[in-house]
Structure 1
Amino acid sequence: MRRTVVNEAGPPDLDPLAPERADGATASRRLRIVLVAFTCDPTRGSEPAIGWGWAESLARRGHTVEVLTHPEFDSVQHAERRVADLGTVGERIRLHVIPEPRAPRWTGLLPGPLSDMAAEVRRYDGWQRRALAYARSHGLDGADLVHHVSYGSLQGGSALRHLGPPLVFGPVGGGQIAPHSHRRYLGAAYRQEALRTWLWVRCLSRRRSCHMTLREAAVVLATNRDTARRARRLSRTDTHLMLADGIQESLIRESTQERPARSGRPPTVLWVGRLHPRKTPELAVRAIAHLRSEIPDARLVILGDGPLRPTLEQLALRLGVGESVEFRGLLPREQVFTACDEADAFLMTSLRDSSSTQTLEAWARGLPVIHLGHHGISDFSAPGGAISVPLGDPADLPQRLAWALSGVLTDQQTGRCMERAALAWARKHTWTAKAETAEELYRAILPSSRKRPN
């Protein structure tokens, strides 16, 4: 593994438009890939895990991966340790650490959440410019291609389109918005969501960097249909769907491995995520209150932390389920998988998400998932391994979630069938499978790597 640090001053499911499989003559070619992974950490979930998942899986396929990233907490140290553990595979991963610049001072003069959004956009834009200059000065323009995976944002675009090699952009999200009809569950935070919709989804998607990325990229991948539709409105009509998340094969429970028997423990529903308004953990607490009218000993285990925790604890007490809702806080990923093995169903209630790492991890442990029927989780829901609950009337949504949970918890045969389907779905979305799909895309564009016509 080679690490370079910049001085602070200085079988997968694509849509029907996916390219055809490459012939065997190209299959053995080993590529040099510039992987743009702004966040990249093998020990974390969500976007950092996605960045690392691409780096390791492509290196395992024999490719040399030039990772452009930035230091975030201990991400670089975690990546270096993992690279060392990988041996010869790790030698094909080259970390290029590029610090992000500070946000301009004027962003601090803006009111409330607008200041945070503007600062994030300006820092990321500045980092991309630094990454491009770095890549040019270090000879990365001689790579076979550029694959931009993080940030996985349509609006953020990719400055690395200027590097020279053909660009694969995504999978990206950013087209999804929280439904206005269900704003009651967001409370005061809905104002921030409305601001995000106006600024991030509608305004920033009209920036030149976004338009030109969509125009010039050899391939654009979207992680949900909302984002694909947004890309089409911006004139990119051949966007492909690909789940942004992946799972390591070693984390998928073997079909022959029995789930822990309930043996007297109460039926358990698991919820995992940040306790933030758009994740809508309130729905989970209200659903468990309804569920207990049918299954009196049912309980809810919440993993994660955030600003809503005191409010949720008070809500549980007010609904009379204080003893049935357990808040365990933020746990290491290993303990999250243990919690999956000890649960009977997984509940996903987010009102806005590109996709969901947590649900894929739950399916990897054979856990049935109940989720809202929208955004990326609906586009990539495990057939037979999940129950999709329509948004419908917000007033009775907690009750409908409870009915779906009850059907899983009270019917063992249904639970076993969903378990098998969940495991089968997870196997289709391993990082190995995603890397193989990416290779097919790479081979399809490399013979004709000319820029897209104007």
Structure 2
Amino acid sequence: MQQKEYKKNVLISAFNCSPYAGSEQYLGWSSAVATANYGYRTYVLTIDKTKQEIEKWFEEHDDTRLKDDLSFVYVSIPNTLWKIKGRIGMLVRYRYFQKQCVILGKELEKKIEFYYCHHVSWASFVQKIELYKLNAPLIIGPVGGGEKTPQSVEKGFEKKDRLKECVRNLVAKMATHSNWFNSCCKKATVIFVTTEETKKLIPCKYSEKVVVNQAISISADEISLKVSDRKNHEPLKVLMAGRSLYWKGFDFAIKAVGELIGEGKNIELHYYGSGPELDKLQKLANLIGGGANCISWKC
């Protein structure tokens, strides 16, 4: 009789987790799948908002092994917290999720011995992380939060956006002096950070724990790249995708296209996304000579 394979258990905290979205949601999903694919029995703490999407993915993919090795423990966010709008609402829901992770994590630890627990998302080291309160060894990240906008770029922001940057930098500085931040650094076995700037947030005495590594990638199995020769009369088509936030630099791309058009270059810019800066970007495109006709918007 063949002995049943023993697998080590891992607990992941991923506030956002969806196989059908990008950014933080895909980060949570891809981290969970990758951990399971490395041979760990993986348990994921995530909000129940994406439960249907996760179940739909498993229905569409006949992957018995992954289904056996990947379990989701859903945190239900009260409806009253979903009614809080904007950035404040997001922070309130995230703090609630973190507290529930500790409660559920401790319950799981009574029944399951975890090889380690892993904070995945939010991928920020300036927002409170609670997993250090569990017994299992802690891995953090990759996380960001220490990045600062260059002054040469920030001077082009609107006044309200410069104020946001000031507040963000202050929050990052305050986080490094908090009890939870220092407790996380002390408890963590490894701290993955996305940039050298975030690495500088970590106290020097913990520097040997820090590894700089990117947070988001995509499996080669999930993309199909086809390279084709562009005919002389065809425009160079450039894809720009993402949520239109003031700090992402989409305006630089539009201005660059405008300059190239002014030089007589045959180029098209295709934007896919939405967000609060969309109207501003479209107005900027209209100001560029010929730019409005050379930029398509898929919102």
TM-score (norm 1): 0.59
1:214-363 matched pairs, under 5 angstroms: 214-232=185-203, 235-238=205-208, 239-253=210-224, 258-263=226-231, 264-320=233-289, 321-329=291-299
Q: Report the alpha carbon displacement of residue 262 of structure 1 after superposing the two structures with TM.
A: 2.0
2:13 matched residue in structure 1: 36
**What letter corresponds to residue 319 of structure 1 in structure 2?**
I
1:45 matched residue in structure 2: 22
2:54 matched residue in structure 1: 79
**What letter corresponds to residue 167 of structure 2 in structure 1?**
L
User: Does the CA contact (< 8 Å) of 2:16 and 2:28 recur in 1?
Assistant: yes
Structure 2 residue 169 is the aligned partner of structure 1 residue 197: yes
Q: Give the aligned CA root-mean-square deviation in angstroms.
A: 2.3
Structure 2 residue 123 is the aligned partner of structure 1 residue 152: yes
Aligned with 2:201: secondary structure? helix
Q: Which has the higher contact order (CA 8 A, sep 6+)?
A: 1
Q: Report the alpha carbon displacement of residue 297 of structure 1 after superposing the two structures with TM.
A: 1.8
User: Does the CA contact (< 8 Å) of 2:9 and 2:112 recur in 1?
Assistant: no
**What letter corresponds to residue 203 of structure 1 in structure 2?**
M
Structure 2 residue 69 is the aligned partner of structure 1 residue 92: yes
1:109-120 matched pairs, under 5 angstroms: 117=87, 119-120=89-90
**What letter corresponds to residue 303 of structure 1 in structure 2?**
Y
Aligned with 1:218: secondary structure? strand
Q: Report the alpha carbon displacement of residue 119 of structure 1 after superposing the two structures with TM.
A: 4.7
Aligned with 1:88: secondary structure? helix
| Counterpart among 146, 149, 153 of residue 175 in structure 1 | 146
| Structure richer in strand, relative to its length | 2
Aligned with 1:96: secondary structure? strand
Structure 2 residue 36 is the aligned partner of structure 1 residue 59: yes
Give the Cα separation in 2 of the matches to 1:140 and 1:269: 52
Give the Cα separation in 2 of the matches to 1:308 and 1:265: 30
Give the Cα separation in 2 of the matches to 1:312 and 1:289: 13
**What letter corresponds to residue 91 of structure 1 in structure 2?**
D
CA 1:42–1:153 in 2, change beyond 3 Å: closer, same or farther?
same
Give the Cα separation in 1 of the matches to 2:6 and 2:192: 23
For structure 1, list consecutive stretches of 5 or more residues without a partner in the other structure. Answer: 1-27, 109-114, 330-454
CA 1:295–1:231 in 2, change beyond 3 Å: closer, same or farther?
farther
Aligned with 1:185: secondary structure? coil
For structure 2, list consecutive stretches of 5 or more residues without a partner in the other structure. Answer: none
User: Does the CA contact (< 8 Å) of 1:42 and 1:78 recur in 2?
Assistant: yes
User: 1:292-339 deviations in whole A, cap 9, x for unaligned?
Assistant: 23343212111111222222222212121111111122xxxxxxxxxx
Give the Cα separation in 1 of the matches to 2:176 and 2:230: 49
CA 1:99–1:186 in 2, change beyond 3 Å: closer, same or farther?
farther
Give the Cα separation in 1 of the matches to 2:257 and 2:249: 14
**What letter corresponds to residue 196 of structure 1 in structure 2?**
R
1:206 matched residue in structure 2: 177
User: 1:121-142 deviations in whole A, cap 9, x for unaligned?
Assistant: 4432222121111122233662
Count residues in correspondence: 286
Q: Report the alpha carbon displacement of residue 50 of structure 1 after superposing the two structures with TM.
A: 0.9
Aligned with 1:317: secondary structure? helix
Q: Report the alpha carbon displacement of residue 183 of structure 1 after superposing the two structures with TM.
A: 1.9
User: Does the CA contact (< 8 Å) of 2:12 and 2:45 recur in 1?
Assistant: yes
CA 1:140–1:326 in 2, change beyond 3 Å: closer, same or farther?
farther
